[in-house]
Chain A
Amino acid sequence: MSLRTPKLRLGLLLLLTPMLLWLLLLIILPHVNMAIISLSERVSAGEYAFSLSNYAEFFTESLYWNTFLRTATMSILVTFLTLIIAFPVSYYIAKMLRGRTKGLVFALCLIPFWVSELVRTYGWMILLRETGVVSSSLQWLGLTDGPIEFLYNDAAIIVGLVYTSMLFMVVPLTTTLDSLDDSYIEAGYDLGGNGFTVMREVVIPHAMPGIVSGCIVVFMLTLGNYLTPALLGGKDSLWFTEQIFTQFITRFNWEQGSAFGILLLFLSSFIVWLGLKLSRQSFTRVMS
């Protein structure tokens, strides 16, 4: 055993190298760099000093933390709505369908994601804009006198984000529900449970790891989404990623932008941690 250990170590190291390089070069280095930039302040041209003022700015300027709160709340709402819609779909795919139809319906959920997010979002815009399909249909049916603008409000953002997130909830949910043997559900009924109690006491506890991992992925993707809120929400969408974009690109204030980036990382991690605590799940179990 002791003879083989160094060899094993080397093998493991070689296997992990691409992963470690990826983590180091693309995730850790930029973040360290961003952290350093966020902690500096431009004193004069080309001269920088250590400062916490970029972070102070976030907490003192109400627009910034209001935007963050709004983004976080809406992301939680989107996560919740996605779960509510995706659960019955996944349950249907995993437990009601058999054989070929099962694969087919699962593929139907997957197919929209072969198209780029940009194109899908434009699809929503074609439907929802003032001269779009929904507005024209309502006019044609005589339900409304003039054209209606469905775009550029919070509802449009949420619809777009839920749609974008769907797959990332359906996949983990279908997988966990698939692993639930039918006999558990039957036993739940056999012992006197009804549809509601079997769902609450048998199906959902079993699916909990899938639910939580789906929620984490959807929440993180939604919080960090830029395209959908910008296109469907318009200039008033006030999504936190847009603030970061503005700081970096429009105002060329890299220090402030970096501080926002770091804050987004920590605040979203905190919310995920809170979610795990509240649902009594451990991160390693959820991700396995």
Chain B
Amino acid sequence: MTNSSSIITDVNAHPTQDSSAGPDTYDLECRNILKTFDGGFTAVDNVSFQIPKGSFFSILGPSGCGKTTLLRMLAGFEKPTSGDIFIKGQSVTNTPPNKRPVNMVFQHLALFPTMTVAENIAYGLRQRKVAKHEIGDRVKGVLQRVGLPDSGNKNIAQLSGGQKQRIAIARCLVLNPDVLLLDEPLGALDLKLREHMKIELKQLQEEFGTTFVYITHDQSEALVMSDQVAVMNHGAFVQQGTPHDLYYHPKDAFVAGFVGESNRWMGRISSQSANGLEITTDSGLGLHGVSGENQSFNNGDKVEIFVRPEAISLVRGQGDSNNSNQLACHVVNVLFDGAKSQILVKDPQSNGEVTVSMPQTADFENLRKGELLSLSWTTEQTRCYRVEG
């Protein structure tokens, strides 16, 4: 991982198959979508993006960031105040939801409880006046593909959470939509099932080849499943890129803090050199770091510093390393979570807490509270971002 801000300069542009591609290679394109509500609140602020055919696109943001409003505009339930939405090159901005080649999997799925599974799936086909025998065949076919071939006659209440999920997706995919919109459908599931459904959703998307637009506030869902992720905050897209890009090259402090876990310090730049930045944190810690993507600083600028828990190397007791940043800390707590276990340590100088990933080696098995640990990490893994205001 050698990177600096100069290598990746254009993460926010469309990273794949851009300039050469014609407009019809995009299943969905939004141009300058703006949505303001009565009272002057701007829910979606001038958002533009393009989604290539057959990709899994996630919109990731905290609750209240406008992602649901954006999705509802794509589905047609809300009308943008200004801007245009194109599906396969055709403007659908003024098309009502029942005429758009887009279907939506609702947050609570909205499977009709008064119908059986087969009737639920057949509903959309009936609205399109598909011949009766063909409806039967297509319902059977899609049930087969989502792996529930014998569920046709069941009631919705008889299905488990994961099965409902698959039926809700089947109900949309049987209509061969150009784009499938998913509104945090995994939110209601328990953790174990959610982990399983993440993989399953990704597989379904690859199997059907339909473009998925998935909105979520859970960064792990977005990172695991997506080809492209857009991070949204205060109604605008902050950064768009592959999950890898977002994790390793966050564009600003918000993305750095929101995507993945980080230890944070606030501080000021004390000096700059070819080797990086010297920063003094507010608590008096001296760190060596690099500037984040597209950032440049003057001495004395206020910055936020991010270090990932897994970037920190550990040695028990007193220890030296070649890394530029070193810190001796005491163990406050061991947060055991199997392979994802973390150690919470306290740095005696600033009294700040730092989270470190527990190395999966036998050396750290019998770690005790209060024990001395030597932490170290490199300059490259210490990223600084400007603090606005």
Contacts and interface: CB of A to CB of B under 8 A. Distances in A.
Interface in B79-125: 96-98, 102-104, 106-108, 110, 112-115, 123-124
Contact of B127 (A183, A186, A197): A197
Interface in B149-173: 171-172
Q: Which 8 A-B pairs have the closest CB atoms?
A: A192-B127, A191-B124, A205-B114, A187-B110, A183-B110, A183-B106, A189-B98, A189-B97
12 contacts: A181-B110, A183-B106, A184-B112, A186-B75, A189-B96, A189-B97, A189-B98, A191-B98, A191-B124, A194-B127, A201-B123, A205-B112
A39 interface: no
A186 B106 contact: yes
Nearest to A206: B114
B106 A191 contact: no
Interface of B: 75-77, 96-98, 102-104, 106-108, 110, 112-115, 123-124, 127-128, 171-172, 175
Interface of A: 181, 183-184, 186-194, 197, 201-202, 205-206, 208
B77 A191 contact: no
B37 to A, nearest CB: 14
B112 A190 contact: no
B128 A184 contact: no
A192 B100 CA distance: 8
Given A181-B108, A183-B106, A190 B127 contact: no
A189 B78 CA distance: 13
Contacts of A181: 108, 110
B127 A191 contact: yes
A183 B102 CA distance: 16
B172 A191 contact: yes
A184 to B, nearest CB: 5
Given A184-B112, A187-B106, A187-B110, A192 B77 contact: no
A193 B98 CA distance: 6
A192 B124 contact: yes
Contact of B110 (A184, A197, A208): A184
B110 to A, nearest CB: 4
B107 to A, nearest CB: 7
A208 B124 CA distance: 22
A206 B114 CA distance: 7
A194 B98 contact: yes
A25 B103 CA distance: 60
B312 to A, nearest CB: 44
A191 B175 contact: yes
Contacts of A202: 112, 114
Contacts of A184: 110, 112
B108 A192 contact: no
Which of B102, B112, B171 has the most C-beta atoms of chain A within 10 angstroms of its own C-beta? Answer: B112
Contacts of B112: 184, 187-188, 201-202, 205
Contacts of B104: 186-187, 190
Contacts of A206: 113-114
Contacts of B175: 191-192
Contacts of B172: 191
A172 B88 CA distance: 46
A191 B123 contact: yes
Which of B77, B96, B97, B102 has the most C-beta atoms of chain A within 10 angstroms of its own C-beta? Answer: B97
